[in-house]
Copies of this chain bind each other. A is one copy, B any other.
Amino acid sequence: MASKPAPDATRRSEKSRRAIYAAALSLVAEAGYPKTTVEGIAARAGVGKQTIYRWWSSKADVLLEAFLDLAEQTARPAGHDGAGHETAGIPDTGDLAADLKAVLRATVDELLDPRFDAPARALTAEGVVNERLGRVFMARLLEPQLQLYVARLRSARDAGQIRRDVDPRIALELFVSPLAQRWLQHTGPITYDYTDTLVDYALYGLAPR
């Protein structure tokens, strides 16, 4: 059991942690996942390799936490408070379409943010060919975000705004996955108009009513 560190030590640790996150994200964006090493992260962050191994067991671990931290910073409008704590998730104003549009617009902002774009692409690309890593990042980073949509859709189902036979875990993919594919595969522009349209199509269907 370590005793509680002195305030100065805590501040120093926090500064090192920030430097390590920034180094990990910039390195993976520049060099790709396979060429990113714990040594390289340590050198760029200006800390010893042992400082990293004191807190994390591998480069995958460092990157995972760096991303969780980045997501907290860039995704605040969508379910995070100013202090970086996750709040109840997607807002529930009672207007499902409006709530989904708001959170998808925030995701558009995030995808177009260069701080997020390059490292997220590098990591996602590695997950496409490295199934083990892809599954870890899915479970730790992506699925928790998707579960916020599940919760919002369940609440809408309870309010009678979604059909009772709809599976929320599949339903959310109708508006989340198109945006993801446009971002990953450059299959089309990413705009608020586009995500608004996805929500309308998904909720009200393509067939005449």
Contacts and interface: CB of A to CB of B under 8 A. Distances in A.
A194 B206 contact: no
Given A125-B129, A187-B138, A207 B201 contact: no
Nearest to A174: B174
Interface stretch (A1-9, A37-45, A160-168): A160-168
Contacts of A131: 186
A198 B173 CA distance: 9
Q: How many copies of the shown chain assemble into the complex?
A: 2
Contact of A134 (B161, B163, B186, B208): B186
Chain B CB within 10 Å — which of A160, A170, A184 has the most?
A184
For the residues of A in contact with B, the DSSP-based class is helix
Q: How large is the interface on A (under 10, 10 to 19, 20 to 34, 35 or more residues)?
A: 35 or more
A188 B135 CA distance: 10
A144 to B, nearest CB: 12
A93 interface: no
Interface stretch (A46-54, A59-67, A68-76, A175-183): A175-183
B186 A138 contact: yes
A201 B176 CA distance: 14
Given A138-B185, A174-B202, 20 more contacts: A121-B129, A124-B128, A127-B185, A128-B128, A134-B186, A135-B186, A142-B187, A163-B206, A163-B208, A163-B209, A166-B201, A169-B188, A173-B178, A174-B178, A174-B198, A177-B180, A180-B185, A201-B202, A205-B206, A205-B209
